[in-house]
Amino acid sequence: ETGVTQSPTHLIKTRGQQVTLRCSSQSGHNTVSWYQQALGQGPQFIFQYYREEENGRGNFPPRFSGLQFPNYSSELNVNALELDDSALYLCASSSASHQETQYFGPGTRLLVL
Amino acid sequence: GEDVEQSLFLSVREGDSSVINCTYTDSSSTYLYWYKQEPGAGLQLLTYIFSNMDMKQDQRLTVLLNKKDKHLSLRIADTQTGDSAIYFCAESPGAGSYQLTFGKGTKLSVIP
């Protein structure tokens, strides 16, 4: 059974650019959540997808958007990057029968210059 | 809004027990979690407890929940150098909303 994978591992962008981060869920998991972890902080919930629909959103502006695909993989898109978007972006997946247990991927570290 | 508080640092000697504490404010929290993060890595789910439980034990880990005081603790018995990491407390309301609210993490340093 493969765990949650994310790509790329590291990324450098400049202010104003757009970025797409990718996540493959753990096998059998149909729910994906995205979190942003700034340096020295705990992760902050961005949004969750279930059956390709957004199923809850945290306090993030609309320039943070996502997609979930029929194979349950997911993308996080961030437009008009700001310096404060520099963070570790974590994806977590869970199954429909055990939504209370979320398993995290290794994350994508984004640096905005 | 929901808030989860943890002390930032804890230092223990190898072989001793570690106790990491957490308080939360959301009385509707249904699930409470402990995650471990090693440097440069993602989060590893260590254990979680349902709000109608007082205690959960899993090998070297013991979780205690005082729902009245909204206090959660994680005890690690016989702490090893490999336990050095940041430990995050988190809560979720459950019942259709499983978004996790995390504390800032407690950095555990184990002295050989």
Q: Is B35 on the interface with A (CB under 8 A)?
A: yes
Q: DSSP assignment, residue A79?
A: -
Range A26-48 average pLDDT:
93
Nearest to B98 among A90, A94, A105 (CB): A94
What does the pLDDT read at residue B30?
85
Residues 6+ apart with CB under 8 A from B63: B32, B34, B47, B48, B49, B55, B56, B57, B72, B73, B74, B75
Neighbours of A65 (CB within 10 A): 16
Residues paired with B13 in a beta bridge:
B111
| Higher-pLDDT residue of A96, A9 | A9
What does the pLDDT read at residue B2?
61
What does the pLDDT read at residue B93?
85
Q: Is B52 on the interface with A (CB under 8 A)?
A: no
Residue A75 and residue A25 in contact, taking contact as beta carbons nearer than 8 Å: no
Q: Which of B2, B8, B24, B43 to mutate to test the interface with A (most CBs of A within 10 A)?
A: B43
Q: Is the pLDDT of residue A101 over 70?
A: yes
What does the pLDDT read at residue B28?
81
Which of A64, A53, A54, A72 has the alpha carbon at shortest distance from A21?
A64
Confidence label for A77 from pLDDT (cuts 50, 70 and 90): very high
Instruction: Identify all chain B residues contacting A107, using CB atoms and an 8 Å cutoff.
Output: 41-42
Q: Identify whether A8 is preceded by a cis peptide bond (ω within 30 of 0).
A: yes
Q: Which pair of tokens denotes residue B58?
A: 């899993």
What does the pLDDT read at residue A97?
83
What does the pLDDT read at residue B4?
94
pLDDT in tens, chain B (112 residues): 568 999 999 999 999 999 999 999 887 888 999 999 998 888 999 999 998 899 999 999 999 999 999 999 999 999 999 999 999 999 998 777 778 999 999 999 999 9
What does the pLDDT read at residue A53?
92
Range A38-66 average pLDDT:
94
Q: Is B44 on the interface with A (CB under 8 A)?
A: yes
